[in-house]
Each structure stands twice: as structure tokens, then as C-alpha cells.
């Protein structure tokens, strides 16, 4: 922690800061420059973060030096984590994992139809929402409990692991019984009670980045889950909100190498929500793989015109199959496979 003092800071101001620092067990270093005095405080920054040093007299600015996340950091664990979804499906290794399926579960027949197609295309994990966070209270909110049961049955029938969103701490247990990966949606990235709740299961958690969350905040949310005892977090970049409206969100492809450099957790990409239009999904999917993503989650629907949610961004299974051809070559180009 570095404290930059105001040019008019007095010795009494400095003493006041030092006194507090010493009480907290920190070792101060004072550098007097020509224009500014700077106090460096050495020791555990955590105790300092809780002290509002900015309001101390004479203080102009407080600059933290250490990253606030620990358990999820690359510094804490040098080797990349591999998250085991099932015995055969692991996320974070050489193989890039394709997760595909409809936005929402609409019926058992439809989900089965889509699941079979995406499996043929190369998907290892089936996605499908039972609880849908919708901007409007009047929009389709998902089939709920019934959707979970459908998901479980299709999963068993095809022997295919699944991922589905959990929105409410009260639902964590029953969602965990029906799905293999618990998805925390972008709008819930800082729903801290929900994070703690999924942290108490051992289920893999797919943690979507919030619409306006920095990479640092995203890692702090992952830290919430891991600190609770569940190390199985998969980060998911799904586009951030910017001024640009040509795409639904702005896909921050740079977040993939940044997150993988700062953290040992795997990072998957969601080109469907990032673009909001199926036409752009292939380009973003390819970019994600080229940039080092450990997986892709792609909305797929056999009849987009009839989809109850996000039809505009759903790929037809035949387009997914075509896309996989190109993805295989790109994966190989960067020393991976898909």
C-alpha cells in the first residue's frame, strides 16, 4: 500500500498515519521527494484495505500494490487448473470443450432433438436454461423445476453432462442434483450470497463475467466461491457493455489472455451473448479459440424462429457443424484440440 501525501501535509499528519500503521502491524517506509512525500506500508494489505486512509489528514491518494485476490491467482498456483465435469470431460486441459444447446429448455422433445444434433457436431456438454433471468417480468421465465427434470432426463438418455443457470440461493441444491455445472449468470456475478451458496457445493461453477465488471472484480467473485471451499470455478467471458450497439455486447477477447495470466482458472467464451446475432457467432468463436479459450458455450437451436428466448443469437446445428471444422484447424494451430 502506497500513500501519496498532499504537498501541504504536516509532520503531525505523517505521525498520525504512522501511528495507525504500527497499530496494524505494518512497517512504514517514508520517501521525501521534491514535491511529495510518499509512505509505503509493508505487510498484509488486507488489514489496510479496511482502513479508509483517504480520509486521514494530509493524504492525497492511496495506491494498493498487491492484487486483492489470492486463491484464484496464478501466483498462488502456477499450474493451470483442470476442472473435472465428469470422468471424461475436463475443462482447462489441451482439449477445448464445446458446450452447446438452446438458451431455454422449451420441451423434452425439443431439448432431445437439439442435444442429439449438438453432440453430433462435437459438443461434450449440453446447455439449457430452466430459470431464465429476463429484463421484462412479462417475458418467458423458463420452465423452472419442470425444466430441471427434463434436463436431467435428456442428460441421462444421452449420457451427456449439462450446465444450467441457478439464480436463487434457495435453488442451488435442487439445481445441483440435476446438472453437472452450475452457471452463475452475468447479472448475478456479484450476487455474493449466491456465490457463497455454490461455493458450498463441490460442483463445477461456470462464472460469467458481469456486464460491466472489471477482470479484477470477476476474479474477486471467483475468490468468493473458492474461499468457500469449492475450487472448481470456470470463468466465462460473454461480452461487456460499451457504447457500441451494433452487437448486443462487446466481446472482450483480450480478457481471455489477461485472465489466464492473472489466474490459474480455465476461461471459456460465450460468443452467442457477446454478439447477440448468430451471424457473428462463428467469427467470435474462432477468435476466442485463437486467443487461448479453454472452451466455448454456443447457443444452438433447431428452429430459431420458434425459440422462446434468444432466437436471434442461436446457431442452427448444421452451422455449428461447419464451424467446428474451422475450429479444429485453429485449435491445432495454437497447439490444442477441440
State which of positions 236-275 bind a copy of itself (CB under 8 A).
Answer: 240-247, 250-258, 261-262, 274-275
- Is 40 one of the binding residues for a copy of itself (CB under 8 A)? yes
CA dihedral of 71, 76, 79, 82, whole degrees rounded to 10: -10
Which of the residues 278 through 337 are near a copy of itself (CB under 8 A)? 278-280, 283-284, 286-292, 304-305, 307-308, 310-312, 314, 326, 329-330, 332-334
Instruction: Please give the residues from 171 up to 190 whose contact with a copy of itself meets the rule CB under 8 A.
Output: 187-188, 190
Using rule CB under 8 A, residue 211 touches a copy of itself: yes
First to last CA, the chain: 43
- Classify strands 162-165 and 267-269 as parallel, antiparallel or unpaired: unpaired
Which of 11, 25, 52, 159 binds a copy of itself (CB under 8 A)? It is 52
Cβ closest to a copy of itself, residue 11 vs residue 50: 50
The number of residues that bind a copy of itself (CB under 8 A) is 107
CB of 276 to a copy of itself, least distance (A): 9
In angstroms, the Cα distances linking 107 to 137, 156, 293, 318 are 21, 16, 31, 21
Segment lying near a copy of itself (by CB under 8 A), choices 64-72, 82-90, 94-102, 229-237 = 64-72
Does 75 interact with a copy of itself (rule: CB under 8 A)? yes
User: Least distance (Å) from a copy of itself to the CB of residue 337?
Assistant: 13
State the sign of the Cα–Cα–Cα–Cα dihedral 256, 44, 79, 265: negative
Does 102 bind a copy of itself (CB under 8 A)? Our answer is: no
Q: Which residues of 228-251 are buried (b: 16+ CB within 10 A; e: fewer)?
A: eebbbbbbbbbbbeeeeeebbbbb
Q: Which is nearer to a copy of itself, 199 or 204 (CB)?
A: 199
Whole-number Å distance between alpha carbons of 98 and 324: 9
Q: Phi first, then psi: what are they for 178, rounded to 5°?
A: -100, -20
Minimal distance, residue 213 CB to a copy of itself, in Å: 9
- The backbone torsions φ and ψ at residue 235, rounded to the nearest 5 degrees and listed phi first, read -80, 145
From 164, 202, 210, select the one nearest 183 (Cα to Cα). 164
Nearer to a copy of itself, 112 or 227 (CB): 227
Amino acid at each position: 500500500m502506497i500513500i501519496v501525501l498532499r504537498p501541504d501535509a504536516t509532520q503531525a499528519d505523517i505521525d498520525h498515519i504512522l501511528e495507525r500503521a504500527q497499530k496494524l502491524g505494518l512497517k512504514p517506509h517514508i520517501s521525501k521527494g521534491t514535491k511529495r512525500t510518499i509512505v509505503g506500508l509493508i505487510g498484509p494489505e488486507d488489514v489496510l484495505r479496511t482502513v479508509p486512509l483517504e480520509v486521514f489528514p494530509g493524504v492525497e491518494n492511496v495506491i494498493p500494490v498487491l492484487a486483492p485476490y489470492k486463491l484464484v491467482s496464478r501466483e498462488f498456483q502456477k499450474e493451470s487448473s483442470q476442472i473435472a465435469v465428469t470422468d471424461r470431460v475436463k475443462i482447462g486441459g489441451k482439449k477445448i470443450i464445446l458446450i452447446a444447446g438452446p438458451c431455454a429448455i422449451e420441451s423434452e422433445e425439443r431439448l432431445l432433438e437439439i442435444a442429439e444434433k449438438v453432440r453430433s457436431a462435437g459438443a461434450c456438454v449440453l446447455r439449457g436454461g430452466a430459470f431464465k433471468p429476463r429484463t421484462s417480468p412479462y417475458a418467458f421465465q423458463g420452465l423452472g423445476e419442470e425444466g430441471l427434470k427434463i434436463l436431467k432426463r435428456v442428460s441421462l438418455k444421452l449420457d451427456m453432462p449439462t450446465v444450467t443457470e441457478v439464480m436463487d440461493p434457495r435453488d442451488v441444491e435442487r439445481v445441483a442434483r440435476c446438472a453437472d455445472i452450475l452457471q452463475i449468470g452475468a447479472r448475478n456475478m456479484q450476487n455474493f450470497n449466491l456465490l457463497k451458496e455454490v461455493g458450498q457445493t463441490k460442483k463445477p461453477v461456470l462464472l460469467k463475467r458481469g456486464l460491466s465488471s472489471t477482470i479484477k472484480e470477476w476474479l474477486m467473485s471467483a475468490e468468493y466461491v473458492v474461499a468457500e471451499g469449492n475450487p472448481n470455478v470456470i470463468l466465462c467471458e460473454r461480452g461487456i457493455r460499451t457504447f457500441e450497439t451494433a452487437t448486443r455486447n462487446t466481446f472482450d477477447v483480450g480478457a481471455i489472455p489477461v485472465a489466464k495470466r492473472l489466474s490459474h482458472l480455465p476461461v471459456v467464451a460465450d460468443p452467442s451473448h457477446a454478439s447477440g446475432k448468430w451471424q457473428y457467432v462463428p467469427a467470435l468463436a474462432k477468435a476466442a479459440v485463437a486467443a487461448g479459450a479453454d472452451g466455448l458455450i454456443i447457443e444452438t437451436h433447431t428452429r430459431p424462429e420458434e425459440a422462446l428466448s434468444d432466437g436471434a443469437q442461436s446457431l442452427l446445428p448444421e452451422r455449428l457443424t461447419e464451424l467446428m471444422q474451422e475450429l479444429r484447424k485453429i485449435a491445432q494451430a495454437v497447439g490444442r484440440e477441440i
